[in-house]
Amino acid sequence: MNKSGLTELEVVLAVARRRGFRSAAVDLDMSTSAVSNAVAGLEARLGVRLFHRTTRSVSLTEAGRQFVDQIRPAVAHIQDAMAAVSEREDKLTGTLRINSSLGAALMTFQPVMIGFLQRYPGITIDLVTEGRMVDIIAEGFDAGLRSSSRVPGDMIRVPITADTPVAIVGSAEYFVRHPKPMTPADLLEHSCIRARLPSGVPSPREFDRGTERFNMDVPGRLVLDAPILMREAVRRGVGLVQLAEWYVTNDLAEGRLERVLDDWVRPVPGLCLYYSGHRHLPPALRALIDFIHEVSDFK
């Protein structure tokens, strides 16, 4: 346990709360003997016994109960004050390890990551990007960054974006040589840039209009696993591609790319930061969560 100047009082409160020295020691990250010695030392200075001890149980004496009732709110106020000072923006330090897909990292890099680092100069972000989902706890990450649909159900989510619009696009030059598809079936006559799933196989296209919803494999001689490469390929007229609209907003606005089949695509779930609720929340991660709430457009 970090030395706060309140160690003995915090130990007494923990033993009273947990009704045991061993369980209090676990909560405080101390040895059982250190907890016992802290209580004994305080009792000796006060000249009063605070706990009844037997081989089976630990309980407060009447004097101990009155003492705990009086110190509990005072200790809580002092802890809050110390935490507020230690977590000031210019005092926060440490490294946050975050696992993310490349797309999620790109979409949040400027509004979240760069802004956070500028505000907290003492914090380092170690951002690992990969397509596969990992167990962030087993692999030593503080948090993950993914589409909310991919986050395990036992994780706590912090939404960053609303659902993300999707577009099927091709270059203006490509459409000079090929007619625009009017239905998903028309894609069978086109060259498509396909996305590779983490399993290694090409991902089928998903189509959704009204009550019609289906997946379809599309033809194409280029299979990629990075959206920025897919964007580069479509810009060069290789074929049609389906991407989060975020990647091609400028291309569409400037006429380099044109969208098709808009009524057949639906948004994908938005991005979120996620972490385990079974771990102590590091101050740096708490600061990142608060920063996301501040800057996120998600309402």
CA–CA distance, 166 with 228 (Å, rounded to integer) = 15
Please tell me the predicted confidence (pLDDT) of residue 277.
81
| pLDDT class of 201 with cuts at 50, 70, 90 | low
- Pairing mode, strands 257-260 and 166-171: antiparallel
pLDDT over threshold 70, residue 78? yes
- Residue 237 Cα to chain centre, angstroms: 36
- Residue 17 Cα to chain centre, angstroms: 32
Residue with token string 């296209």 = 205
Please tell me the predicted confidence (pLDDT) of residue 213.
84
136, 141, 146, 149: CA torsion to nearest 10: 30
SS in 3 state form for the chain? Answer: CCCCCCHHHHHHHHHHHHCCHHHHHHHHCCCHHHHHHHHHHHHHHHCCCCEEECCCCEEECHHHHHHHHHHHHHHHHHHHHHHHHHCCCCCCCEEEEEEECHHHHHHHHHHHHHHHHHHCCCEEEEEEECCCCCCCCCCCCCEEEEEHHHCCCCEEEEECCCCECEEEEEEHHHHHHCCCCCCHHHHHHCCEEEEECCCCCECCEEEEECCEEEEECCCCCEEECCHHHHHHHHHCCCCEEEEEHHHHHHHHHCCCEEEECHHHCCCECCEEEEEECCCCCCHHHHHHHHHHHHHCCCC
| pLDDT class of 85 with cuts at 50, 70, 90 | low
pLDDT over threshold 90, residue 203? no
187, 169 in Cβ contact below 8 A?
no
| pLDDT class of 1 with cuts at 50, 70, 90 | very low
Q: Which domains does the chain have, with CATH numbers?
A: 7-86 (1.10.10.10), 94-163+270-295 (3.40.190.10), 166-264 (3.40.190.290)
| pLDDT class of 83 with cuts at 50, 70, 90 | low
pLDDT over threshold 90, residue 197? no
pLDDT over threshold 70, residue 2? no
- pLDDT: which is higher, 299 or 260: 260
| pLDDT class of 97 with cuts at 50, 70, 90 | very high
Which amino acid would we find at residue 193? I
Please tell me the predicted confidence (pLDDT) of residue 138.
83
152, 122 in Cβ contact below 8 A?
no
Please tell me the predicted confidence (pLDDT) of residue 4.
47
pLDDT over threshold 70, residue 17? yes
Residues of the chain above pLDDT 90, percent: 54
* pLDDT tens track for 127-180: 999 888 889 988 889 999 999 988 988 899 999 988 989 999 999 999 999 999
Residue with token string 């004994």 = 40
Please tell me the predicted confidence (pLDDT) of residue 156.
93
- Pairing mode, strands 94-100 and 123-129: parallel
Residues of the chain above pLDDT 70, percent: 92
Give the residue-averaged pLDDT of 230-234. 96
* pLDDT tens track for 211-226: 888 888 888 899 998 8
**Could you tell me the pTM of the whole model?**
0.61
Please tell me the predicted confidence (pLDDT) of residue 199.
66
Give the residue-averaged pLDDT of 250-256. 95
- pLDDT: which is higher, 273 or 208: 273
CA–CA distance, 75 with 98 (Å, rounded to integer) = 34
295, 287 in Cβ contact below 8 A?
no
| pLDDT class of 30 with cuts at 50, 70, 90 | confident
Q: Is the dihedral of CA 189, 192, 195, 196 positive or negative?
A: positive
Please tell me the predicted confidence (pLDDT) of residue 298.
56
